[in-house]
């Protein structure tokens, strides 16, 4: 007989789902342990750093860099006048130079700069001395202290105070004003180093006889009071001399007006700037030609 035919194929059964992937459970504990170790190490490092910062202020984090401070402005001082070797001016010249050195240090940072600056202001005998001195001792050009000592030995009197005292005793006001006399006296007084009492006596002694007569009754207790009083008396004397020098004008003849003028006529002439004497224009009673002819 005929063999049985196989039944037609039916729908294929659904495929079995893929089995879920198994996590690497055997590695998870290792990864977690490593992460924990790293965190612990980082925490220990941070704690150590914080501990050092707390105990060592110098280890603190650097602050923001500050802007550089601008240099302090130096005063603009005038240079001294050229010094030619006058003995009376040497001390003042050196003082002015050193004033520049103190207030403008950026210009004079070395001894050579100071010596060079002073030498540039010398002339005549003073310049000749500087050239000869540096030729004889070259170190003077780079040693300001040594140069200064040599300068003082040549251009400043060794008996400076004694000379000032002698000149102070010989000082007289003469025809000068008290202000001019006082200025010269104060300069010599500072150089002489005398005391207050001696200076007051010397000042009164040198005043003119006219000023002495005016202050004879006053006894100022200090030199400044004596100087102030003398200045006031000198000003009064000068004012009085000017008054006496002015010419004395003779008294004017009183104006003579015509007695026949009515009040209304007087007002009219004044209103139109007319002469009250003759009624003319261009002049007044004081220069009235009619009045002048009448009194001839």
Looking at residue 207, its pLDDT comes to 95
Q: How do residues 286-295 score in pLDDT, each as one tens digit?
A: 778 777 666 5
The C-alpha atoms of residue 259 and residue 200 are separated, in whole angstroms, by 70
Q: How do residues 42-100 score in pLDDT, each as one tens digit?
A: 666 666 655 655 555 554 455 555 555 455 688 888 889 999 988 778 888 999 999 99
Looking at residue 101, its pLDDT comes to 92
What is the band of 239 on the pLDDT scale with cuts at 50, 70, 90? confident
Across 212-240, average pLDDT: 89
Looking at residue 280, its pLDDT comes to 80
Q: How do residues 5-27 score in pLDDT, each as one tens digit?
A: 555 555 555 555 555 555 444 44
Residue 121 has pLDDT above 90, yes or no: yes
Strands (DSSP E) contained in 201-286 are none
Residue 118 has pLDDT above 90, yes or no: yes
Q: How do residues 146-196 score in pLDDT, each as one tens digit?
A: 999 999 888 876 555 567 788 888 999 998 999 999 988 988 888 788 899
Looking at residue 30, its pLDDT comes to 47
List Cα–Cα distances, 81 to 1, 125, 184, in angstroms: 153, 15, 21
Looking at residue 27, its pLDDT comes to 47
Q: Which residue did the predictor score with more confidence, 258 or 198?
A: 198
Looking at residue 278, its pLDDT comes to 80
The C-alpha atoms of residue 102 and residue 77 are separated, in whole angstroms, by 11
Asked if 223 and 203 touch (Cβ cutoff 8 Å), the reply is: yes
Q: Which two tokens stand for residue 287?
A: 């220069």
What is the band of 269 on the pLDDT scale with cuts at 50, 70, 90? confident
SS3 216: coil
Tell me the CB-side half-sphere exposure of residue 292, using CA atoms within 13 A.
Answer: 7
- What is the rounded average pLDDT for all residues in the chain? 77
Q: What are the residue ranges spanned by the domains of the chain?
A: 87-155, 164-243, 265-294
Give the global pTM. 0.44
């Amino acid at each position: 007989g005929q063999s049985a035919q196989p039944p037609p194929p039916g729908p294929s059964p659904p495929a079995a789902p893929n089995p879920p992937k198994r996590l690497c459970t055997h590695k998870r504990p290792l990864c977690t342990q490593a992460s924990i170790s790293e965190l612990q190490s980082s925490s220990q490092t941070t704690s150590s750093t914080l501990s050092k910062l707390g105990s060592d202020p110098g280890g603190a984090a650097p602050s923001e860099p500050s802007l550089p401070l601008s240099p302090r402005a130096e005063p603009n001082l005038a240079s001294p006048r050229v010094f030619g070797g006058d003995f009376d001016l040497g001390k003042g010249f050196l003082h002015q130079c050193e004033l520049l050195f103190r207030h403008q240090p950026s210009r004079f940072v070395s001894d050579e700069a100071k010596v060079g600056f002073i030498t540039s202001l010398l002339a005549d005998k003073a310049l000749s001395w500087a050239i000869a001195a540096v030729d004889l001792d070259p170190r003077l050009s780079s040693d300001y202290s040594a140069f200064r000592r040599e300068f003082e030995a040549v251009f400043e009197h060794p008996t400076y105070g004694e000379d000032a005292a002698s000149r102070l005793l010989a000082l007289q006001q003469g025809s000068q004003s008290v202000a001019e006399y006082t200025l010269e006296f104060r300069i010599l007084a500072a150089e002489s180093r005398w005391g207050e009492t001696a200076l007051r006596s010397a000042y009164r002694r040198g005043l003119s006889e006219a000023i002495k007569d005016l202050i004879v009754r006053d006894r100022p207790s200090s030199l400044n009071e004596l100087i102030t009083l003398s200045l006031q008396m000198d000003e009064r004397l000068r004012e009085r001399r000017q008054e006496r020098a002015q010419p004395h004008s003779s008294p004017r003849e009183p104006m003579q007006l015509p007695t026949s003028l009515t009040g209304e006529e007087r007002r009219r002439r004044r209103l139109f700037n007319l002469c009250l004497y003759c009624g003319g224009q261009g002049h007044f009673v004081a220069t009235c030609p009619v009045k002048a002819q009448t009194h001839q």
